[in-house]
């Protein structure tokens, strides 16, 4: 039985491998039957039942998963299950980044209002990502994980500034200034906010 934290791309890939192994086993059984050889069918029946139970279990969990919008929750075929698991994984990554950014504070009291506004913007994105319509969730994902998204650039400057190229650093500084204000950009760049 899978638990909600097991709904990952690896879970779906494991299911895909099990289905491929089952198809191979069915082919071997069919070939043996065709040649008139005796075949033990109980093992095959058990494997089919196990795979069906796994698919049904995953489908049920996807129907109830909070990171999926209502229109995304019906996944009954393997490809839909794989895509839904990938989507959950990506949304969880976006949530983790937002949660990290929600912890960011400035050491300078003069920045307090700017950082309160930043937190308000992040909270709105978080709300859309976790409870919004399909379109709101997709937009929130783009706002957080898009390569040129201000939230992504803010995360990069706070989490791993040493990994940024000079060009990316300058672009991030401009984007953060435009989106969250000069005070936030300067506080992050100068290391006053972590």
pLDDT at 6: 66
Nearest one of 171, 163, 162 to 191, comparing CA atoms: 162
- pLDDT at residue 78, as a whole number: 84
Q: What is the largest CA-CA distance in the chain?
A: 85
Please tell me the predicted confidence (pLDDT) of residue 7: 80
pLDDT tens for each residue of the chain, 194 residues long: 334 446 888 888 898 999 999 999 999 999 999 999 988 899 999 999 999 999 898 999 999 899 999 889 888 888 888 899 999 999 999 999 999 999 999 989 899 999 999 999 999 999 999 999 999 999 999 999 999 999 999 999 999 889 999 999 999 999 999 999 999 999 999 988 88
Other Cβ atoms closer than 10 A to 62: 23
Beta bridge partners of 106: 193
DSSP three-state, residue 36: coil
Rounded CA separation 172/174 (Å): 5
9-34 and 41-64 helices, crossing angle to 10° = 160
Handedness of CA 58, 64, 68, 73 (dihedral sign): positive
CB 162 within 8 A of CB 107: no
**Rounded distance between C-alpha atoms, residue 132 and residue 83, angstroms:** 19
CB 115 within 8 A of CB 107: no
Q: Indicate yes or no: pTM above 0.75.
A: yes
Task: Quote the pLDDT of residue 168.
Answer: 94
**Residue 192 burial by Cβ neighbours in a 10 Å radius (0-12, 13-18, 19+):** middle
pLDDT at 129: 94
Residue 1's pLDDT is 35
Q: Cβ atoms within 10 A of the Cβ of 83, count? A: 15
CA 159 to each of CA 75, 104, 118, 188, 193: distance values in angstroms, whole numbers, following the listed order: 35, 10, 17, 10, 11
């Amino acid at each position: 039985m899978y638990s909600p934290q097991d709904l990952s791309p690896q879970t779906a890939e494991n299911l895909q491998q099990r289905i491929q192994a089952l198809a191979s086993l069915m082919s071997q059984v069919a070939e043996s039957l065709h040649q008139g050889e005796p075949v033990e069918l109980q093992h095959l029946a058990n494997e089919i039942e196990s795979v069906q139970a796994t698919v049904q279990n995953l489908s049920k969990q996807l129907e109830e998963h909070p990171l999926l919008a209502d229109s995304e929750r019906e996944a009954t075929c393997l490809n839909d299950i794989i895509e839904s698991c990938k989507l959950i994984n990506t949304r969880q990554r976006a949530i983790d980044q937002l949660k990290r950014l929600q912890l960011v504070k400035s050491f300078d009291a003069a920045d307090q209002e700017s950082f309160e506004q930043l937190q308000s913007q992040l909270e709105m994105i978080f709300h859309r990502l976790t409870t919004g319509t399909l379109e709101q969730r997709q937009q929130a994902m783009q706002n957080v994980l898009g390569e040129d998204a201000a939230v992504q650039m803010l995360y990069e400057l706070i989490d791993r500034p040493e990994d940024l190229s000079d060009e990316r650093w300058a672009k991030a500084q401009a984007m953060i200034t435009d989106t969250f204000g000069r005070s936030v950009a300067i506080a992050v760049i100068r290391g006053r906010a972590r």
